[in-house]
Amino acid sequence: MYSKKIIIRYGADVVDKPVVYSLVKDFDLAFNIMRARISPRREGLMVLDLSGTKKNFDRAIRYLRGLGLSVEPLSKSVTRNVDRCVHCGACVAFCTSGALYLDKNTMEVIFDPEKCSGCELCVKGCPTRAMTIDLL
């Protein structure tokens, strides 16, 4: 089983198409909508956790891009400003996915974007505002 979190950005011309339905019906993928902003006749965004076979996942991504949708991994939109981070560890206490953790040898906060769920708790918990999530 292959699983990956992606961000889909789309234009107003695609908002009325059954994109998620096609992912399930045509590509046999399971999904969890982690976040969505969908408005009639406007640009939109969906953050999905997709799972299925790697072959079907790759086919589905090609399909989405063929519709003119922007598809990127969630990790591209989650960043840590290393200049602002003071390695206090406050964000680690809020991170339920394990994407943020304290290196016991260096006592520095480490960020693993592949594990990030995009829940935004680290953004709210960081006193220096070093964590940013650009989903909208």
Residue 105: CB atoms within 10 A of its CB come to 6
> pLDDT tens for residues 25-63?
999 999 998 888 877 777 788 889 999 999 999 999 999
Closest among 3, 5, 4, 2 to 133, alpha carbons compared: 5
43 lies in the same domain as 96: no
Whether 61 and 98 map to the same domain: the answer is no
pLDDT, residue 97, reads: 84
Task: Give 87 or 76, the one with higher predicted confidence.
Answer: 87
User: Which residue type sits at 99?
Assistant: A
Q: Are residues 125 and 109 located together in one domain of the fold?
A: yes
Q: Say yes or no: 120 and 93 in one domain.
A: yes
Total length of the chain: 136
Domain enclosing residue 85, as ranges: 81-133
Tell if the pTM clears 0.75, that is, is over it. no
Residue 117 pLDDT class (50, 70, 90 cuts): confident
